[in-house]
Amino acid sequence: MAADKACTQCRAMVDGSTCVVCGGTDLTKSWEGQIFIFNFETSDVAKAINAKANGRFALKIK
Ligand SMILES: [Zn+2]
């Protein structure tokens, strides 16, 4: 998991070089915390971090 990168646009955890959520390619390894969103449409947590999809998201981008 140490090599995981997070999208700086939407905070989604990215496997590879392009974010599957927003299509962004600006990725960073400098993130803290991780959360799994299951129901982004109804999740307060998803709203709090502005998640627009289900999946893993970084809580904080440094
Ligand atoms: Zn993204």
pLDDT digits (tens, 9 = 90+) for 29-45: 999 999 999 999 999 99
Distance 6 CA to ligand 1 centre (A): 8
Mean pLDDT over 34-57 rounds to 94
Whether 12 contacts 4, CB under 8 Å: no
Whole-model pTM over 0.95: no
Distance 42 CA to ligand 1 centre (A): 20
Distance 51 CA to ligand 1 centre (A): 9
- The full set of domains in the chain, from first to last, is 5-61 (2.20.28.90)
Whether 28 contacts 5, CB under 8 Å: yes
Torsion of CA 20, 10, 28, 6, to 10 degrees: -60
Whether 57 contacts 37, CB under 8 Å: yes
47 alpha-carbon distance from chain centroid = 13
